[in-house]
Structure 1
């Protein structure tokens, strides 16, 4: 059975969209997923399923969360090999700004079009840069992520698809934890 890594968008931030990880693991197991694990509270999940399609796994998790929690949670699924390859590609890339800037990976739900890629790379005169790497977006910020102009809703509008961002340290930890099993 295939192993999938799922990334939930915008949960457990502030008072809204709370999803307790222990309960989520139980509900996913009850829904037929196996070997369910989570990593920190921001919605990083590893699970095994008879479903081979990432899109079907995304839909199943989104339906479960909508029915259980009562709100939409865009879910982005990658294989362990995809996360491993992405982490390696990013590690091999020279800094977009300088080595002190923080790196984030914005996992993309849909395709980032060529026009969107051009819009994302147009930020050359700011302390923020982005590049599409495979299906996802590398974001570098020389400053605070929460006040960055190229993060959050603006980044998502430019990309033209839902995104969920993770610090590169979290992506590395997930790769080490789940891509080798």
Structure 2
């Protein structure tokens, strides 16, 4: 059995995409998972699965979520070791920026094409920075970030992969809570 932390994309954003925690747990268990827990109602799920492949797990969860919620729920999974490494890297990046106002992490289903990574990272300026490492894009926003070259909402589209974002606090909290 393998443990995972799964991140659900685009749930509980409006009246038509409601997916309460209890329903997420029930659907996750219906997909054959055990030891299911959620953290806040934004689609953060810890689970244990007999599936050894991340892709198989994501497909099984997406199928169960579609059946239960009635809409597609893209799902991005990390092992606890992977998420712990992501959190540690994020803290290092944040710690290197004394002027940092916001730090968002786009958690990516797949590694993006290197040319797309270069283009997105190339939008960085003296205030805002995008750093892509594997299946994570760190968006580091400094003072006056709204006026910079980095558009938080265009990062996922520019990378061309399915993603969901979380802030630094959520990622580090989950790493402490579920991965230590």
Question: 1:123–1:95: structure 2 CA closer, same or farther, 3 Å change rule?
Answer: farther
TM-score for the superposition, normalised by structure 2? 0.89
Task: Count residues with an aligned counterpart.
Answer: 177
Give the secondary structure class of the aligned counterpart of 2:19.
coil
Q: 1:42 is matched with which residue?
A: 42
Deviation at 1:13, TM superposition (A): 1.2
Residue 53 (structure 1) aligns with: 53
Tell me, in whole angstroms, the C-alpha distance in 1 between the residues paired with 2:162 and 2:27.
24
**Coordinate RMSD, CA, aligned:** 2.1
Q: CA deviation at 1:98?
A: 4.7
Higher helix proportion: 2
Gaps of 5+ in 2: none
CA distance, structure 2, for counterparts of residue 174 and residue 102 of structure 1: 18
Contact 2:36 2:46 in 1 (8 A): yes
Superposition map of 1:4-23 within 5 A:
4-23=4-23
- Structure 2 match to 1:86: 86
Q: CA deviation at 1:15?
A: 1.9
Q: Is the 8 A contact 1:5 1:77 kept in 2?
A: yes
- After TM superposition, give the deviation of residue 149 of structure 1 in Å: 5.7
Maintained 8 Å contact 2:8/2:73:
yes
- Measure the CA separation in 1 of the matches of 2:24 and 2:145: 30
Instruction: Please name the residue that 1:150 is paired with.
Output: 151
In structure 1, the gaps of 5 or more residues are none
- Tell me how far apart the structure 1 counterparts of residues 145 and 34 of structure 2 sit (CA, whole Å): 37
CA shift at 1:69, angstroms?
1.7
Structure 2 Cα separation of the partners of residues 95 and 10 of structure 1: 29
Structure-2 separation of matches of 1:93 and 1:31: 36
